[in-house]
Every structure is written in structure tokens, then in C-alpha cells.
Amino acid sequence: MPKLFDRLFKGEAVQAIRGSYLGVDIGTVSIKAVEVDMRSGKPSIVNYGMIESPDYLERVNGVIQTSSLSIADGDAPQMLKALIAQMGTKTKEVVAAIPSFAAFTSVIDLPAMTAEETAQAVPYQARSLVPLPMSDVTIDWTLIGQFEDRTGAKKQRVFLTSVPNEQINAHKAVFKKAGLNLKMLEVEGLSLARALNHITQEDVLALDIGAFTSTVAVAGQGALKYCIQTDFASNSLTQALAKGLGISVKRAEALKRQRGLTGMSGEYGLSTLMAPFIDVILNEGRKAKEIFEGGGGKISKLVLSGGGGGMLGLADYAGRQLGIPAEEANPWNTVSYPPQFAPLFRSIAPRFAVAAGAGVKPFME
């Protein structure tokens, strides 16, 4: 039962940091990549790109991977090859993020104990929580809080993550077919937490809203402290608009991207049609906040990322609903980049948060 995701590849990932790395985020309908190297003592973005499945809105099997469709059964290798060719990057070294729906996560409350005792107790507790034999998964855990229960007993709250080895092997195979060298693999929540590392002393609630799934995470000081996923996501909003307005899904998607929660169409406000589905996602965030703060932590703000995280009006709406300040993720604060990238980088920041967080991993740990 191995531990620590960045040691999955044994000695391969432990090497001198030289040259550049690709941070790759393979989502449900798109692949994002950033090329990072070290310049003037700071990680620097030197290249980036994205490729999207062209017909996912109209074909159920037009996605790359989902909780029910393995990445090994989709078009990921071909799309990766096309993206790398489009970017013109020379490096083949990759740090990749695995989606939250490919992992099992849980919060465990244990008596206060030493780190060595915790290392023995967590795998024992994991046996009753993970729906697979321990020999078939890789697990990791993080201490996320300490508190006293109602009797005054000292407790510690631990965030457990486990990934099926089958998922790990599938990702290895995809990158090998694409002609890339997968050096490190981690759950996307870890990449997201690293991308938000510029919020140095604060714990933040992060909502990464993808096309078909959303990740709800708590991050602080570059560490992942809580992470779950929900199947309510950006496509849920598109479908709500299409049905409510009686239009095609392509037209609904265009309306959502152009107007977000600020637009009106006919007698229906777009926000009225989408709000119930947005509220489901926000309710998951509210639960995460309550669980984390119940262990003695404190959430300072909400950060939105993913393709749906940059929707017009969403930050204001989400902040009001959760009662905390809200903003779009800006992973570029932890890196340098050419000045000519600046105008576009502001608009794509939420979408590239996970890829950027994965890309800087070799240079920040």
C-alpha cells in the first residue's frame, strides 16, 4: 500500500530540477497544459495551450473522461499529441493532475497523537472507508485541524485521499501513448492548492467548476486540506438554459459564456434559470466550510476556478450566498511570464489554475 503520490514512480521523480516541465490538466472535455521552467530564481510560464472536445455538448460520448468513462477509453492520447504539436514545446517531462472523481476522499477524526502514531492509525481507519482492498489503492493524508470534542478530549482531523492503482496505471498509459514522460501525478485538488499558494497565511474555499464535475476544496499555505466533487457543473447550467429557453445546447452555451448571470433573455432572466444549479454547487462549498471550521479552521474567502469559475457575475453571486469575499483564481501570481501574455492571462486564469499548479510542482517542493 504505497503512500505519497509524488513517489509513485519511485526514483524517476527524484531528480535535479533542470529544463522545463509541462503541467497537464486532463478534464472531462478539455486538456490544458502550461510549460514551466526556472528563470531568475522563480518558476516562469514559457508556453501554454488548450484543446477541447468539439462535440461534447451534443454527444454523450464526446467527453474525454468521467466518473463512469475511463481516460483509457477516450481520445486523450490523440488530443494530447495534437495539443503538444500545436504548442510546439520541446519538453516531454510531465506533471499531471488526476481528477477528483477518480479518487476517494474522506475526513477522519482521531484522538490527538504523534505523527508516527497517526501514520499507523490512518491506514487502519481507511480500510473501513475506501471501497477497495488496500493493496489496490495508493493513499495519502493531511492533518487539517485540531480541536476538543464535547467531553473536552483533544482530537485531530485528518483529510484522507486514496487513488485506485488502476487509475494511476491508466494515466501512465495515456501519456506514454502520447509520447510524453509522466514524472509526477497528483489529485487535482493538490495542484489547485499550490496554484493558490500566494494566499500565504489564509485558508480558502476553492470551487473548481468544470464541464461535467466540480471540485470543492479547502486550501491554505499551498496545502490541500479538504476535497470532494459533485456532478453538478457548468454543463448543468447550459442544459438548464437550453430547456428553459427552448433553444439548442450550442446557443445556450454561447449565451452562458457571453452573459453569465448578468444577462436577460426574453421574459426569463438567465440567472433565474441557472441559480438552482449554482446553488447546489455552492451548498457543497458551504458543507465543506462547515466541516473545516468545525475542526478549528477558518475560511477567509472563496476562490473560483475552472471553465465555469470565470462566468460573468458568479463571484458576486457566490460571495453573497456564502457570506464571504469571493474572487476568481489567479495562478499567475506564483510565477513570472512574458509581458505580452498579460492581457490574455487575466481572462484564462481560472481555467488554467490546475495546470499551472501542476506545472510549478517540481520547482516549489
pLDDT digits (tens, 9 = 90+) for 209-218: 999 899 999 9
- Check pLDDT > 50 for residue 156: yes
Q: Give the model's pLDDT for residue 66.
A: 63
Q: Give the model's pLDDT for residue 268.
A: 55
- Are the beta carbons of 184 and 190 closer than 8 angstroms? no
Name the residue with higher pLDDT: 70 or 164. 164
Amino acid, single-letter form, for residue 178: A
Q: Note the pLDDT tens digit of each residue in 243-258.
A: 999 999 999 999 999 9
Which candidate, 43, 47, 17, 50, places its Cα nearest to that of 35? 47
The CATH number that domain 5-103+163-238+271-364 falls under is: 3.30.420.40
Q: Determine which of 64-68, 145-149, 157-161, 292-296 has the lowest per-residue pLDDT on average.
A: 64-68
The helix/strand/coil state of 83 is helix
Sequence-separated (6 or more) residues with CB below 8 Å from residue 134: 1, 123, 126, 127
Q: Give the model's pLDDT for residue 148.
A: 87
Spatial separation of the C-alpha atoms in residues 163 and 98, rounded to whole Å: 9
Q: Note the pLDDT tens digit of each residue in 278-314.
A: 999 999 999 999 988 988 889 999 999 999 999 999 9
Q: Note the pLDDT tens digit of each residue in 322-358.
A: 999 999 999 998 899 988 888 889 889 999 999 999 9
Q: Determine which of 15-29, 61-75, 176-190 has the lowest per-residue pLDDT on average.
A: 61-75
- Are the beta carbons of 168 and 138 closer than 8 angstroms? yes
Q: Give the model's pLDDT for residue 6.
A: 45
Residues of the chain with CATH 3.30.1490: 104-162
Residues of the chain with CATH 3.30.420.40: 5-103+163-238+271-364
Give the CATH number of domain 104-162; options: 3.40.50, 3.30.1490, 1.20.120, 3.40.710: 3.30.1490
Residue 11 binned pLDDT confidence (cut-offs 50, 70, 90)? very low
Residue 220 binned pLDDT confidence (cut-offs 50, 70, 90)? confident
Considering the chain, what percentage of its residues have pLDDT values greater than 90?
52
Q: Determine which of 148-157, 272-281, 300-309 has the lowest per-residue pLDDT on average.
A: 148-157
Residue 5 binned pLDDT confidence (cut-offs 50, 70, 90)? very low
Q: Give the model's pLDDT for residue 1.
A: 45
- Check pLDDT > 80 for residue 205: yes
- Are the beta carbons of 211 and 96 closer than 8 angstroms? no
Sequence-separated (6 or more) residues with CB below 8 Å from residue 245: 252, 255, 265, 266, 268, 273
Average pLDDT, the chain: 86
Spatial separation of the C-alpha atoms in residues 118 and 140, rounded to whole Å: 12
- Check pLDDT > 80 for residue 15: no
Q: How far is CA 231 from CA 8, 26, 110, 210, 326, in A?
A: 28, 17, 30, 9, 22
User: pTM for the complete prediction?
Assistant: 0.87
Residue 225 binned pLDDT confidence (cut-offs 50, 70, 90)? confident
- Check pLDDT > 60 for residue 116: yes
Q: Note the pLDDT tens digit of each residue in 31-53.
A: 999 999 988 788 999 999 999 88
